[in-house]
Amino acid sequence: MVISSQKGKRKITKKKKETEIQQIVNYYFYTKGLSLEEIKNNAKKRKIIYSRFTRPAKQLLDLAGSVQKAQKAIDRVAKWAQSRNLDYAIETVFKKWLEIDRLKPKEVVKKPFYAGSPMIWSQTKKKWFVIDEDGEWHEFVGEEKDIKWKIIK
């Protein structure tokens, strides 16, 4: 309970607790990288139409059975979509509901490089080779610490 006064007048207000639907909608925005303050500011500026998300949140709550299960489902879909550079909405959780246990983020593939040139491991010779611009293979004579691993998309 919060008590505030203005020029002798006392005003008593109760802090509202988030409803289950608000918790789901806010969690969806948290997975998008927005804080509660940013959500409120964007809603005031009409960048986010908050009411557009309440119906899907209610449907997700009915489908999942609890707020925690709904948040877990949103989190799993968010990680899956973000790893593939896809956009997602609360409705995406419905579409992926039957396969939600099998959704996994895309694995990050790292490739070896030496001095900016790609490398290949030869299983038969048990050696690393560096590929130059012309496509020729040269045996790698450096040390393992000289190899740089880069994420390739």
Per-residue pLDDT of the chain (153 residues; tens, 9 = 90+): 445 555 555 555 555 677 889 899 999 999 998 888 888 888 888 888 888 888 999 999 999 999 999 999 999 999 999 888 889 999 999 898 888 888 888 777 888 888 888 888 888 888 888 888 888 888 888 888 888 888 876
Alpha-helical (H) ranges within the chain are 20-31, 36-44, 54-64, 67-83, 90-95
Same domain, 34 and 80: yes
Residue 7: the pLDDT is 57
6 belongs to a structural domain: no
Residue 27: the pLDDT is 92
Confirm if 123 and 107 have CB atoms less than 8 A apart. no
Residue 19: the pLDDT is 87
Domain that holds residue 31: 17-102
Report residue 13 as tokens: 């207000």
Same domain, 34 and 98: yes
Same domain, 89 and 125: no
34 belongs to a structural domain: yes
Residue 83: the pLDDT is 86
Alpha carbons 15 and 85: distance in angstroms, whole number: 38
